[in-house]
Amino acid sequence: MKAFVSWSSGKDCMHALYHFLKNPENQAVCLLNMSGEGNGQPHSHGISSAMIRKQAARLNIPLLQKTTSRGNYEKNMKEAIARLKSEGVDAGVFGDIYLQEHRTWIERVCGEAGVSAVFPLWDKSTSGLMEQFITERFKTIVVSVRKEKLPKSFLGRLIDNNFLTDIHTFPATDPCGENGEYHTFVFDGPLFVAPILFEKGDITEDDKHWFLDIK
């Protein structure tokens, strides 16, 4: 199967890619990143396009970055998928775990664009996935936090066993952040040819999130 991977830079898309590639017949031919119009950042994650390009280079997988507004997101995503389909891609890989409404939307969009949708993490225990991800030695930093779900102190933390212990003290928060509680950037792991070196920059915020700039 030749697939693109829906890419946000975080742990779930990385973990989905990792599981997808466990089948030697599968090939990830492209990372598809939908970035916010005008600021070069994926919606709600706060990671620059430049950092995502570094990630793709260290994974040795081509990157397609498509600029979009929220209002044109579906249209622009379909255009990107259609382009990839014309180049021989027949599936898309997604890191969704249990949000059925979002899965239904993805399946419709992919179906209308003529490719199948693959969900390697679907319906797995989010705590179990976190434990696996840590055991598999991926290195990940928290780059955004939703204010109503987690304290600001979680910003900039590495995903490790201490993080997993602490996040379980917030029972309304999903360990994987599946409901947008936090977002991450993966900078090293078994799929990388070399780790990404970065510096922590400024902390910014909007009405719902804190963001950590990394560069």
pLDDT digits (tens, 9 = 90+) for 75-106: 999 999 999 999 999 999 999 999 999 999 99
Q: Decide: 192 and 22 in contact? Cβ < 8 Å.
A: no
Half-sphere exposure of 212 (CA within 13 A, CB side): 20
Q: Tell me if the pTM is above 0.85.
A: yes
Give the span between the Cα atoms of 67 and 39, in whole angstroms. 9
How sure is the predictor about 135, in pLDDT bands with cuts at 50, 70 and 90?
very high
* pLDDT over threshold 70, residue 10: yes
Instruction: Answer yes or no: CATH 3.10.580.10 is held by domain 2-118.
Output: no
* Three-class SS of 97-127: CCCHHHHHHHHHHHHHHCCEEECCCCCCCHH
Q: Amino acid identity of 116?
A: S
Output phi, psi for 47, to 5 deg.
-95, 135
Contacts of 172 (CB under 8 A, 6+ apart): 149
* pLDDT over threshold 80, residue 193: yes
CATH code 3.40.50.620 region(s) in the chain: 2-118
Query: Which of 94, 91, 96 has its CA nearest to residue 81?
Result: 91
Share of the chain above pLDDT 70, in %: 96
**pLDDT digit string, tens, across residues 19-73:** 999 999 999 999 999 987 554 455 547 799 999 999 999 999 999 999 888 899 9
How sure is the predictor about 144, in pLDDT bands with cuts at 50, 70 and 90?
very high
**pLDDT digit string, tens, across residues 160-184:** 999 999 999 999 999 999 999 999 9
Query: Which of 42, 39, 46, 45 has its CA nearest to residue 31?
Result: 42
What is the pLDDT at residue 18?
99
Q: Amino acid identity of 50?
A: A
How sure is the predictor about 9, in pLDDT bands with cuts at 50, 70 and 90?
very high
Helices (H), 120-203: 126-135, 161-167
Q: Which helix (H) or strand (E) element contains residue 65?
A: strand 63-68
CATH code 3.90.1490.10 region(s) in the chain: 126-214
Bridge partners of 65, per DSSP, are 33
What is the pLDDT at residue 35?
85
Q: Which fold has domain 126-214?
A: putative n-type atp pyrophosphatase, domain 2 (3.90.1490)
How sure is the predictor about 108, in pLDDT bands with cuts at 50, 70 and 90?
very high
What is the pLDDT at residue 41?
52
* pLDDT over threshold 70, residue 116: yes
